[in-house]
Structure 1
């Protein structure tokens, strides 16, 4: 199973969500869902996704 960590693009030390299993994008809203089913909606743009490294970078607005 591949789970990712979502971080801010401008500050990779700031974790937005860990154990992200899925994400959906609707305009400038990104919905992250973790392994436990908890959802978090973030306004911004997905700028980078390293699926083998399990990192998602989001440019937050």
Structure 2
């Protein structure tokens, strides 16, 4: 029979494992996206947000 303390400890343990997994997945995905961006920029493909605006050009014109 499971005691209350065991149930609480298992619940907290499961929460820690799940949140840790989500953090790890987020970090790994961020690294992968940075690698993808670096590859694209090495090919000469630039992000629109990094393009220099010409003088007199409104933000709405882009």
Category of TM-score, reference length = shorter chain: under 0.3
Larger relative contact order, structure 1 or 2 (CA cutoff 8 Å, min sep 6): 1
- Structure with more of its chain in helix, by fraction: 2
The alignment's TM-score, normalised by the length of structure 2, stands at 0.17
The alignment's TM-score, normalised by the length of structure 1, stands at 0.17
